[in-house]
């Protein structure tokens, strides 16, 4: 398993599209409702690529490979406000269902935390669906639950799910 910062998504577009589709199909609450069409997922990743190119100091994409295949990723959105340059938001932690249970999420978050420190960020924030299995990962990684908001996002069933907010102070 190899984890690294990725700046050029083009050679990995098919894997990224597949990863997004797989995660949403398996119930991940990452801003999309199933089924995610190939073109929709591709457009999302093209937009991420554009952000990486035009605002390289605003976002990082950290990925994990098993061999040559991209199997997981997470994004770090760096706050740009003058009073917020010490914080960043963790977004869209994804691991392909065929590769779960191997410590990939933990490796991605650990690498993300290192990159956050290099970027001068010491406060990380994130949110996840109330009751989501990811909450347990964040607690194991020493993130603190800060509270929740009900009816935050529409679910695949047409109901609204709450979201739980977490934070972590890096040293």
Topology of the domain covering 2-126:
Aminopeptidase (3.40.630)
Domain ranges for the chain, please list them.
2-126
The tens digit of pLDDT for each residue in 7-22 reads 999 999 999 999 999 9
Report how far apart, in Å, the C-alpha atoms of 69 and of each of 7, 66, 81, 159 are.
16, 5, 36, 35
CA dist 22 and 54 (Å) reads 28
Query: Residue 167 is encoded by which pair of tokens?
Result: 């934070």
Rounded CA separation 106/116 (Å): 15
What tens digit of pLDDT does each residue of 100-131 get? Answer: 999 999 999 999 999 999 999 999 999 999 99
pLDDT (tens digit per residue) in 50-71: 999 999 899 999 999 999 999 9
Mean pLDDT estimate for the chain: 97
Provide the percentage of residues in the chain whose pLDDT is more than 70.
Answer: 100
Cα radius of gyration (the chain): 15
Centroid of chain to Cα 54: 20
All residues at 6 or more sequence positions from 29 whose CB lies less than 8 Å from its CB, including other chains? 128, 129, 132, 153, 155, 161
Query: What 3-state class would DSSP assign to 11?
Result: helix
Q: What average pLDDT score do residues 34-54 get?
A: 97
Please name the residues in contact with 34: beta carbons below 8 A apart, sequence gap of 6 or more: 24, 25, 156
- In this prediction, residue 171 has a pLDDT band, given cuts at 50, 70 and 90, of confident
What element of type H or E holds 39? helix 38-54
β-strand partners of 23: none
Strands 144-154 and 160-169: antiparallel
- Single pTM value for the model: 0.97
Taking the C-alpha atoms of residue 63 and residue 49, their distance in angstroms, rounded to an integer, is 14
Structure tokens at 46: 């093209």
């Amino acid at each position: 398993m190899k984890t690294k910062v990725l700046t050029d998504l083009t050679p990995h577009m098919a894997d990224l599209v597949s990863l997004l589709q797989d995660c949403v199909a398996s119930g991940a609450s990452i801003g999309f409702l199933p089924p995610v069409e190939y073109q929709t997922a591709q457009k999302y990743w093209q937009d991420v690529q554009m952000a990486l190119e035009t605002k390289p100091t605003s976002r990082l994409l950290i990925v994990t490979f098993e061999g040559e295949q991209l199997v997981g990723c997470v994004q770090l959105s760096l706050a740009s406000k003058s009073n917020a340059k010490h914080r960043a938001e963790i977004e869209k932690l994804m691991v392909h269902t065929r590769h779960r249970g191997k410590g990939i999420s933990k490796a991605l978050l650990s690498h993300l935390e290192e990159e956050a420190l290099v970027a001068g960020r010491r406060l990380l924030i994130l949110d996840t669906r109330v009751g989501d299995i990811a909450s347990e990962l964040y607690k194991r990684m020493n993130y603190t639950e800060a509270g929740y908001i009900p009816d935050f996002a529409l679910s695949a069933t047409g109901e609204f799910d709450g979201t739980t907010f977490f934070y972590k102070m890096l040293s």
